[in-house]
C-alpha cells in the first residue's frame, strides 16, 4: 500500500452498519410528529413508504456507480466519470463546493437534533442547547481521529444501539396490543386529490431526510473489501432493514398515542414510552435515542471527510486536503476542517432551518446530476462497462430523478432559489479557477 492510499478494511457487516447508523439519526424521532401533522391523518404512513421507494430507486444509481468506481469521495468520482473530461470537471467541482457547505450542515443538524431531544430529560436554555451540540461535534472528531479498522468496530457497536432503540419502541407497541390499528385505519377519510398530493410532497421532505445515508459507504469506496459486491449489498441491506424499522416504529407509536397528540408532539417516541411505562422508561428510551443521534453524527462525518480528500488527491481541490495522517492513515485535514465548520453551524442554526436546505441544496447536482451522468456514461461505454447493473434499466433511474425533482419543487421557492444561488456561485468560482489555471473550458491545446 502506498503512502497516500487508503486501506481496504471495511467488511459487509461494517459497511451496512455505517449506512444504517447514518440513516437512523435523530431525524425519524424528531420528524415523526411533523410528518403526522403535515399529512393530517392516519395516512401519514404513506410519506414513509414514499421515502423508502425513492431510496430503493435511487440506490440503483449509487450501486452501479459505486461498484464500478469504488474510490474515496463517492459522488465526486461519479460525476467526473459520468460527464466526461470536460463537463465532468465542472460537475465534480460543484459537488465538492456544495459538500463544504451542506456536509457541515448535515453534521450540525444531527448535533442540533441531539441537543433538542436531550431537552425531554431536562429543559435546556438556548445557550445550553448550543453547548451540547457544539461539544458533540468535538467529541465525534476525537473519536474519528483514528485508524479505519477501529472505526469499523465502533460503527458496529453504535449500530447495536440503533437496533436496541428501535426494537424497544416496536416491542412496546406489540405489548400494548393495538399494534395493527394504524394499518387497519390507514385509509380512513383519505381522498386522493391535490390537497393530499401537496401534503404528501411536503411531508416526504422530512421522511426522505430520515432515509438519507443509504449511500454513505460509497464515499468510503476505497476502504471497502470486495467493493463490487459489498457496496450494492450494503445499501440494499440498509434500506430494507431501515424501512422495516421505520414503518414498524411509526405504527407502534401511532397505536398508542392518539393522532392529535402525535401530531403535536416534539418528543413522540418518548411520549409514547411514557404513556406505556411511565417517566422512567421514557427517560431511558430518550437516552437510547440520543445514542442513535450520536451514532448518526459519527457516520456522516466519517463519510463526508473522504470527499474533499478525494478531490484534492485528484488535483481538483486544495492540495492540503489530500494529506493522510502519517501513522493512522486517514484524511485528517479534511476531517478537521469539516468538523470545524460543522461546529460553527451547530452554534448558529436551528434544526428547522437546515433540513429543507439540506434537501434542496443536494438534489440538482448530486441526486439528479448523478442519474443523468449514469445515463450519459451508459450511452458512451455500454451496459457491460458496469460492475453491477440495475434491473429494468433505465426505469429505476428515471423514476428516482422524477421523484427528486418533485421533492425539490415541494421545498418551496425560497429553498429552490437558495439551491440555484449556491450552484451559480460554484460555477463562477470554478470558471475563475479554470481561467487562472488554464483548465477546461479555457484550456487551449499547445501548438506543435
Phi/psi at 116 (5° precision): -65, -45
Closest Cα to residue 116, out of 357, 415, 349, 360?
349
User: Does residue 445 register a pLDDT over 60?
Assistant: no
Residue 245 or residue 444, greater confidence: 245
What's the whole-number mean pLDDT along residues 256-274? 90
**Which residues 6+ apart lie within 8 Å of 13 measured at CB?**
156
What are the cell numbers at 269?
A: 417516541
pLDDT tens readout for residues 370-389:
999 999 999 999 999 999 99
pLDDT at res. 154:
73
Q: How confident is the model at residue 302 (pLDDT cuts 50, 70, 90)?
A: confident
Q: How confident is the model at residue 405 (pLDDT cuts 50, 70, 90)?
A: very high
The residue behind cell 448535533 is: 111
Helix axes 27-39, 279-304, angle to 10 degrees: 110
User: Does residue 417 register a pLDDT over 60?
Assistant: yes
Beta bridge partners of 417: none
Residue 179 or residue 385, greater confidence: 385
Closest Cα to residue 219, out of 65, 75, 57?
75
pLDDT at res. 431:
93
CA distance readout (Å), 192 to 182, 227, 405, 423: 18, 43, 21, 35
Closest Cα to residue 110, out of 16, 209, 234?
209
The residue behind cell 459538500 is: 99
Residue 161 or residue 200, greater confidence: 200
Work out the burial of residue 191: count CB atoms within 10 Å of its CB; fewer than 13 is exposed, 13-18 middle, 19 or more buried.
exposed
pLDDT at res. 158:
75
User: Does residue 41 register a pLDDT over 60?
Assistant: yes
Q: How confident is the model at residue 116 (pLDDT cuts 50, 70, 90)?
A: confident
What are the cell numbers at 259?
A: 393522532
User: Does residue 447 register a pLDDT over 60?
Assistant: no
What are the cell numbers at 359?
A: 434537501
Contact 295, 166 (CB under 8 A): no
Per domain, the residue ranges of the chain are: 12-437
Lowest mean pLDDT among 30-34, 50-54, 127-131, 337-341: 30-34
12-437 folds as Amino acid/polyamine transporter I (1.20.1740)
CA 353-356-359 angle, 5° bins:
135
Give the span between the Cα atoms of 71 and 81, in whole angstroms: 12
Count of beta carbons in the 10 Å neighbourhood of residue 418: 16
Computed over every residue of the chain, the mean pLDDT equals 87
Contact 45, 259 (CB under 8 A): no
Q: How confident is the model at residue 418 (pLDDT cuts 50, 70, 90)?
A: confident
pLDDT at res. 305:
86
pLDDT at res. 2:
45
pLDDT at res. 380:
95
Contact 22, 368 (CB under 8 A): no
Upstream peptide bond of 394 is cis (omega within 30 degrees of 0): yes
Lowest mean pLDDT among 3-12, 227-236, 240-249, 429-438: 3-12
pTM for the structure as a whole:
0.85
pLDDT at res. 4:
52
**Which residues 6+ apart lie within 8 Å of 191 measured at CB?**
none
Q: How confident is the model at residue 1 (pLDDT cuts 50, 70, 90)?
A: very low
pLDDT at res. 149:
66
Amino acid at each position: 500500500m502506498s503512502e497516500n492510499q487508503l486501506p481496504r478494511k471495511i467488511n459487509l457487516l461494517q459497511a451496512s452498519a455505517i449506512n444504517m447508523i447514518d440513516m437512523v439519526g435523530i431525524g425519524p424521532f424528531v420528524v415523526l410528529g411533523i410528518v403526522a401533522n403535515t399529512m393530517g391523518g392516519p395516512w401519514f404512513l404513506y410519506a414513509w413508504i414514499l421515502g423508502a421507494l425513492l431510496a430503493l430507486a435511487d440506490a440503483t444509481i449509487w450501486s452501479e456507480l459505486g461498484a464500478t468506481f469504488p474510490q474515496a469521495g463517492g459522488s465526486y468520482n461519479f460525476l467526473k466519470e459520468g460527464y466526461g473530461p470536460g463537463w465532468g470537471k465542472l460537475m465534480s467541482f460543484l459537488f465538492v463546493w456544495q459538500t463544504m457547505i451542506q456536509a457541515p450542515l448535515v453534521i450540525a443538524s444531527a448535533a442540533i437534533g441531539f441537543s433538542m431531544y436531550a431537552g425531554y430529560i431536562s429543559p435546556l436554555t438556548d445557550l445550553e442547547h448550543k453547548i451540547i451540540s457544539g461539544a458533540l461535534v468535538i467529541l465525534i472528531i476525537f473519536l474519528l481521529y483514528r485508524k479505519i479498522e477501529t472505526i469499523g468496530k465502533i460503527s458496529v457497536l453504535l449500530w447495536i444501539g440503533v437496533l436496541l432503540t428501535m426494537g424497544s419502541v416496536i416491542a412496546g407497541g406489540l405489548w400494548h396490543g393495538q399494534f395493527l390499528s394504524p394499518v387497519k385505519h390507514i385509509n380512513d377519510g383519505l381522498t386522493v386529490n391535490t390537497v393530499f398530493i401537496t401534503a404528501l410532497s411536503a411531508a416526504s421532505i422530512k421522511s426522505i431526510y430520515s432515509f438519507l445515508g443509504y449511500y454513505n459507504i460509497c464515499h468510503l469506496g476505497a476502504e471497502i473489501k470486495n467493493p463490487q459486491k459489498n457496496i450494492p449489498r450494503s445499501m440494499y441491506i440498509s434500506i430494507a432493514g431501515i424501512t422495516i424499522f421505520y414503518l414498524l416504529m411509526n405504527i407502534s407509536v401511532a397505536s398508542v398515542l392518539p393522532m392529535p397528540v402525535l401530531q403535536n408532539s416534539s418528543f413522540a417516541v418518548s411520549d409514547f414510552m411514557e404513556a406505556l411505562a411511565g417517566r422512567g422508561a421514557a427517560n431511558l428510551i430518550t437516552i437510547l435515542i440520543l445514542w442513535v443521534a450520536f451514532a448518526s453524527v459519527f457516520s456522516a462525518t466519517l463519510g463526508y471527510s473522504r470527499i474533499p480528500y478525494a478531490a484534492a488527491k485528484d488535483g481538483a481541490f486544495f492540495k492540503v486536503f489530500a494529506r493522510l495522517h502519517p501513522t493512522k492513515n486517514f484524511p485528517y485535514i479534511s476531517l478537521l476542517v469539516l468538523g470545524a465548520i460543522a461546529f460553527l453551524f451547530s452554534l448558529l442554526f436551528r434544526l428547522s432551518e437546515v433540513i429543507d436546505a439540506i434537501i434542496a441544496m443536494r438534489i440538482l447536482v448530486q441526486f439528479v446530476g448523478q442519474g443523468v451522468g449514469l445515463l450519459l456514461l451508459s450511452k458512451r461505454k455500454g451496459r457491460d462497462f458496469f460492475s453491477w447493473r440495475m434491473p429494468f434499466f433505465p426505469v429505476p433511474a428515471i423514476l428516482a430523478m422524477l421523484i427528486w425533482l418533485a421533492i425539490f419543487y415541494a421545498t418551496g421557492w425560497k429553498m429552490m432559489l437558495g439551491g440555484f444561488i449556491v450552484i451559480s456561485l460554484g460555477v463562477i468560482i470554478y470558471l475563475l479557477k479554470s481561467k487562472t489555471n488554464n483548465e477546461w473550458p479555457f484550456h487551449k491545446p499547445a501548438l506543435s
